[in-house]
Amino acid sequence: NRHGLSVRGALGLRVIPGGWVPMGLLTFGLFAIGAAGGWVVSLVAEMTQAAFHWTDWFDQTLIQGDIQQLILPLISYTLLAPIFEELVFRGILFSTLRRQLGPWTSIIISAAVFSLAHGYGSVGSISIFLSGILWAWAYEKSGSVLPGMAAHALNNSLVCLTVLLMIRPA
Q: What average pLDDT score do residues 84-110 get?
A: 95
Cα distances (angstroms) measured from residue 127 to each of 42, 44, 74: 8, 11, 21
* Residue 2 pLDDT grade (very low, low, confident, very high; cuts 50, 70, 90): very low
Note the pLDDT tens digit of each residue in 7-64: 777 778 788 888 888 888 888 889 888 888 888 887 887 787 766 554 555 667 777 7
pTM of the predicted structure, to 2 decimals: 0.85
Q: What is the 3-state secondary structure (H, E, C) of the chain?
A: CCCCCCHHHHCCCCCCCCCHHHHHHHHHHHHHHHHHHHHHHHHHHHHHCCCCCHHHCCCCHHHHCCHHHHHHHHHHHHHHHHHHHHHHHHHHHHHHHHHHHCHHHHHHHHHHHHHHHHCCCHHHHHHHHHHHHHHHHHHHHHCCCHHHHHHHHHHHHHHHHHHHHHCCCC
